[in-house]
A and B are shown apart, each in its own frame.
Chain A
């Protein structure tokens, strides 16, 4: 037997493929469309959500028996907002540069429906350890898609990856640009993110036919 029981391991691995929050549950689409024009932004967002979702799930899970059901959504919102603000404040005081990179994401993290979705669907009904695994699993599942979308959008839209000009220089016409290649500016706009996510869903479903619903 490994470190995790089979049931626990499934919590980590399910969201990576067959129960992916973005491609299967269609949660967290808003941020997936908004910030994936660049690979770096996608990575920062993925790491932030990993942190907040892992920790938030544990907090909610610990409080699950005392949260009044009538106001549970508000309580969840308060927990995630508090966590994010604490992180933001501490970073501002001790790692100012990093906080500047993150500041844009603070609002996006709080309103990310994956976080609320996992609090509501999982953490409220499970113990802290399992909730933690579920949080990490879902955040990684989310992050993988985010990074994949960011990769293609930055590569095809700006011809760069993490800011490095991997396809040559569009202005000096070097590399691929010398043979007439052009960046697709449309890739930088949100509609293309939706199309890229759509293509990912298509690939995933054609590889795994159990996901296709029967009418």
Chain B
């Protein structure tokens, strides 16, 4: 039985109309919602940075940001300086937190100078240096913010991911994983950068040894954990010259 809808002509016309309708619908939605989405992402960056330096509303076991309403004000209050490091040049910029780390990593690959944002925050008399990092997990991008003191001892960390496996790799944004980094050293006393390795079976599940350059891995999330180690090592090592200068 041949139906009207079986002809080639009909199929072509249908396909064209469908693509046109769906395409314009999605394009319209995407562009009309873009400002709102951008704004949400901007606030989230501020919340991430604040989270890493310990300005958050954590309860006993869950990670909670400061609320979106006060994020802007808190960001102004706690972040004293936003620096951009380009080679040996250090400049200040009010919008350093909007620097796209992904783009800068691509720039570095093309041989251009990578702009490294660094946020200097102050809380209860203590100075925090917060740096963004970005790398690859199992399925997609992972990224985070690490706050350090002037000796590159980790004071706080926030990790996030685009599409890691729920229940396994996605748990890098759980407190029991992120909190393990607090107090870990990134550099030896002699000034050699070691990074922090997410390691299986390091016999230190509660993370008491803060100078072993290791934290306990998540079961079932080996590749995501390796990704975390790699991005810490790669991206934070770029900040070493700045911290060495700081001590001079």
**Interface of A toward B, CB cutoff 8 Å:** 34-38, 40-41, 44, 65-71, 74-75, 78, 82, 85-86, 89-90, 92-94, 96, 103-105, 107, 153-154, 157, 163, 171, 185, 188-189
What is the distance, in angstroms, from B27's C-beta to the closest C-beta of chain A? 11
Closest 10 CB pairs of A and B: A37-B167, A38-B167, A41-B166, A93-B36, A68-B11, A188-B220, A93-B33, A96-B40, A185-B219, A35-B166
User: In the assembly, what is the distance between CA of A96 and CA of B18, in Å?
Assistant: 30
**Interface of B toward A, CB cutoff 8 Å:** 3, 5-6, 10-11, 14-15, 18, 22, 25-26, 29-30, 33, 36-37, 40, 44, 61-62, 68, 162-168, 170, 205-206, 219-220
Check B36–A37 contact: CB distance below 8 A.
no
Residue of A nearest to B44 (CB): A96
Check A90/B33 contact, CB under 8 A, given A35-B166, A82-B22, A188-B168: yes
- A residues in contact with B25, CB < 8 Å: 82, 86
Residue of A nearest to B166 (CB): A41
- B residues in contact with A153, CB < 8 Å: 167
What is the distance, in angstroms, from B14's C-beta to the closest C-beta of chain A? 5
For chain B, what secondary structure do more than half of its interface residues adopt (helix, strand, loop), or is it mixed?
helix
Check A69–B219 contact: CB distance below 8 A.
no
Check A78–B5 contact: CB distance below 8 A.
no
For this complex, 5 residue pairs linking A to B, each with C-beta atoms less than 8 Å apart, are A41-B167, A44-B166, A89-B37, A93-B33, A93-B37
- B residues in contact with A189, CB < 8 Å: 220
User: In the assembly, what is the distance between CA of A35 and CA of B167, in Å?
Assistant: 7
Check A66–B5 contact: CB distance below 8 A.
yes
